Amino acid sequence: MVPSEQSTLASNLVSCLTHGQPMVLLATASVYAIGTSSIRRIARILCDPGSQVSFVTEKLANQLQLRRRKHNVAVEGIGAAAHTHTSGGAKLTLQSHSSDFALIINVLIIPSITSLTPGVPVATSSWKHLHGLPLADPHFGTPGPVDILLGADVWGLTVEAGIVRRPTDQPHAQRTSLGWVGFGPANGGSSTTHRPQSLHAKICDSEVSLEELVRYFWKWEELPSNTAVTEDDECEQFFAMTHTRTAEGRYVVQLPFHKSVDLGDSYTQALQQFLRIERRLAGDDELHSKYTDFMREYAALGHMERVANEERTAAEYYIPHHAVLAKFRVVFNASARTPTGVSLNDVLMVGPTIQDPLVHILFRFRLYRVALIADIEKMFRQVEVDAVHRNYQRILWRDTPTAPVGIYRLKTVTYGMACSPRSPPMCT
C-alpha cells in the first residue's frame, strides 16, 4: 500500500465463496504499543514489507491517546485504486514481550487495516519445526484483528539473521527482534484448510462526482470535534454499574479489567522477591522493625486478611513489595510481569483523569487570602475492593524467617496499581 493523492468513489462490492483454496499465513506479531503518557496496550502487528509506510487503526490510536499531526492522503492498494483515507499521522513505540527491544515508528491512522487474520482457524500443533521457537505471535493460527501494519519503512530494522524453511505445504519462520514470525503456506497438518473461505473485492469508479467533491470539501472545512476516548467511558460506566457501599457507608469497588488474560504464575516471582527483601531486613534491625510494624498495622486495621496456603486459584496475582526509605513506606509493585510477559497493571483500565487541571488549582489558590491544605490519611485504603477481585491482590509475608511464608489478601484499594488513583476521587 502506498499513499496517493487520487480519490475514488466505491460503487460495487463483489463476493465469492471458494472451496479448497490454499491457505497462506501472513507474518504477525504481538507487542506492547506505547503512546502518549506511557499508555500501553497489547497490539497485533501484520508485517508487510510490500507497504511503503506503516499504519495504525483509529481504535488503537484513540486508546493510546496518540498526539496527531495533520496528514490527509488516500491509501493506494492493488490495481492502483485508492480506497481509504488517513485521518492523521502520529508516533508510537513498539516494545517486545520477550526482550528489551523497543522501536519508535511513524504511522498513518486509518479506520481499519484488514479483516480477521488468518481468515479461518489453522491447526499449528503438527508443525514440529516451530516447537520451541519463541514466537512473536503464539496464536498466529487463530483469526484475530490487526491493530498495526509494519511497512517496509521499519520492517528491516526488526529482521535478524535466522530463518527456518520448510516444504511447500508448511509455513516458514523468520527470526526478528520481536520474536520468530511464521508465514507462508499452511496446508500441511491443518484440519481446517478445506473449509469454504469467503473472499471480497471492491470495485471503484475512477471518476469522482461533483457531489463527492463537495462532501469532502465540507468535511475538511468543519471544525474538529472532540473524540471521546472509548476506554475512559467504559471505565466510568464500569464504576457506576459495579460499585456498592457497606452498611457503614464505605465504598466497595471492583477492578476494571479491560481484557481477560491468563496472568500465569506470579507466585514464584513474588516469593523470590520476598526472600530477597527478607535477607535485607535480617541485616538491618531498624528497617526490619519498621517493615514489621507496617504489616502488623495493615492487618490490625482489617486492610488485609490471611489466606490458607492451600487455597490456590487460577484467577490470582501475587504482588511483590519492597520498602521506600526516604519517607518509609511499603510499596506494592503490580507492574511486575509474570513469565507470560503480562503484569496485573497491563490488563487494568487506568480510567479518566479525575483531578482538576493544575492551572485551575493555581487560579483558585490565588482567588482568596487564605488557603487551606488537608490530607486524607490512608486515602486509598478508605475504599474496599470487592471480594470477587481480592485474589488479584495477594502478597506474601511472615514476621520471622523461622515461620512459614504466609499468603495474605489486600482488602482495600492498593497504591501501585494502575487503576488506584482514580478510585477514591470517583467515590467523592
Of 248 and 167, the one with more pLDDT: 248
Pair 211, 238 in one domain: no
pTM, entire model = 0.46
Strands 197-205 and 9-18: antiparallel
Q: Which helix (H) or strand (E) holds 89?
A: strand 89-96
- When mean pLDDT is compared across 28-37, 144-153, 393-402, 419-428, the lowest value belongs to 419-428
Pair 159, 306 in one domain: no
For 252, residues 6+ apart whose C-beta sits below 8 A from its C-beta are 243, 244, 245, 246, 383, 384, 385, 386
Reported as a single tens digit per residue, the pLDDT across 235-279 is 788 888 888 998 988 899 998 888 777 788 999 999 999 999 999
Residues present in the chain in total: 428
Pair 116, 261 in one domain: no
Residue 95 falls within a domain, yes or no?
yes
Enclosing domain of residue 132? 2-221
Residue 227 falls within a domain, yes or no?
no
Q: What is the rounded CA–CA span in Å between residue 100 and residue 334?
A: 19
Q: What is the rounded CA–CA span in Å between residue 287 and residue 293?
A: 10
Pair 217, 240 in one domain: no
Pair 204, 244 in one domain: no
Reported as a single tens digit per residue, the pLDDT across 341-368 is 889 988 888 877 777 788 988 888 888 8
For 426, residues 6+ apart whose C-beta sits below 8 A from its C-beta are 236, 239, 243, 351, 354
Residue 228 falls within a domain, yes or no?
no
Pair 196, 263 in one domain: no
Pair 174, 257 in one domain: no
Confidence at residue 7, expressed as pLDDT on a 0 to 100 scale: 41
% the chain with pLDDT above 70: 84
Confidence at residue 214, expressed as pLDDT on a 0 to 100 scale: 80
Q: What is the rounded CA–CA span in Å between residue 379 and residue 154?
A: 46
Q: Which helix (H) or strand (E) holds 183?
A: strand 179-185
Give the chain's domain count: 2
Pair 270, 400 in one domain: yes
